[in-house]
Amino acid sequence: MINYLRSRYPHVSRDLWLFTAVIASTGFITNIIESTFNNFLSETYGLSGMARSVLEFPRELPGFSVVFVSALLFFLSSRRLASVAMFLQAAGLLLIAYAAPKFNIMLVWLFFMSLGQHLFMPLQSSIGMELAHDGKEGRRLGQLNGIRTIAAIAGSGLIVVGFSYLHFTYRLVYTIAAIVCVGAGVLMLFMQPKAAPPAKMRFILRREYSLFYWLTMLFGTRKQIFITFAPWVLVTIYHKPTAIIAVLFTVGSIIGIIFQPLLGRMIDRLGERTVLAIEGATLIIVCLGYGFAKILFGDSGFYIAAACYVLDMLLFAFGIARATYLKKIAVMPEHISPTLAMGTTIDHIFSITVALASGVIWLTFGYQYVFAVGAVIACAYCISAFRIVLPKRTAA
């Protein structure tokens, strides 16, 4: 198949075709997991709401450990490390499906699955930029994200059809996801390896990248507000069923197919400073919509909150701009992958912290104040984006 595509599109490299297939696989796998995991936990282990909340800590802990695990595997190139990440995720999925009779055992396998997911997160950006022409990194990442979104919708569709008409079980769908993971890991092995950076470059914390770290920290805080509290507003404040959340997720994904490639081109044309400032300004509006639409418009405020939910999904794609910004300011090309890994760790330090703090704010003062804090964070993000200054040789 790859050889056929190369003959049909000779200007596209073999490695790019292989990596495109890997990215599509990750989108497919992610939506299979995300659309079934909560039901799996409830039906298999009978978790309470509080237990489900506490589960986020071990599930997100691998994100914190990414930079340390990457440092331990310093002898692997980014492409080989990506292959290891896919195999780890596959092993975790299979063990959850076939060897997790008790909740505590499942947590161990969940750690491996989540570690594979989080290890791959920074690598998909760094490898994607390796496969782009100079000055077209945003366009390439946008194209890959659009393909990932198409595959994600296919994963959701499989779950809907499978559980509605084909009597699928959780063991079956996690086996399917694991097989796709293994396939993606094998495809990564067929890519041309890049030389692994020296061990000292696997753990990088440099003053030159301080603005990147700061923007990543602010992203981590806003990310958890969306993941944890935005759907909770729709469910508990507007009393909407899970099906409505699924519809909104699907709408956001369909729009993302077109939006993400356009966003990539916009980054290359306007530059990271403008795009990230737009992200921050838009996020202010989104947070205010979540927090105060009900107060201002009553039950009709749901339509505003729903629009904010879809818009918030699209804003996640702006992470492309942080990755391309890092590439442009990198002192050495070998710094990119480990610095993105450090960014993932920083992101998760603050996302875990803000989840706990925001829960306290919600219970003590009300949900509006969670999103008021989110608006302040978005304002800081927008202002910080204007501090971006690119080297003259790569300025947009």
| Residue 267 one-letter amino acid | I
Instruction: Give the alpha-carbon dihedral of 353, 355, 359, 365, to 10 degrees.
Output: 80
Q: Which token pair is 391?
A: 């080297």
pLDDT in tens, the chain (396 residues): 555 555 555 566 888 999 999 999 999 998 888 777 767 877 788 765 455 556 667 777 787 788 778 778 877 888 899 999 999 999 999 999 999 988 889 989 999 999 999 899 888 888 888 888 877 788 888 889 889 888 988 887 888 788 878 888 889 999 999 999 999 999 999 998 775 555 444 567 788 899 999 998 888 888 877 777 787 788 778 887 656 776 787 788 888 888 888 998 899 899 999 999 999 999 999 999 999 999 989 888 999 999 998 999 889 888 889 988 998 898 888 788 788 888 888 887 777 777 777 778 887 888 899 899 999 999 999 999 999 988 765 443
- How big is the chain by its Cα radius of gyration, in Å? 21
Compute the distance between CA of residue 221 and CA of residue 373 in angstroms, rounded to an integer.
10
Fold (CATH) for 204-396: Growth Hormone; Chain: A; (1.20.1250)
| Helix, strand, coil % over all residues of the chain, rounded to 5 | 85, 0, 15
Q: Residue 203's closest CA among 74, 15, 87?
A: 74
Architecture of the domain defined by 1-197: Up-down Bundle (1.20)
pTM for the model: 0.75
- Residue 367's CB: how many other CB atoms inside 10 A? 19
Q: DSSP states of 17-50 as a string?
A: HHHHHHHHHHHHHHHHHHTTHHHHHHHHH---HH
Compute the distance between CA of residue 80 and CA of residue 76 in angstroms, rounded to an integer.
6
Domains 1-197 and 204-396 agree in fold: yes
Domain assignments of the chain as residue spans, ordered by start: 1-197, 204-396
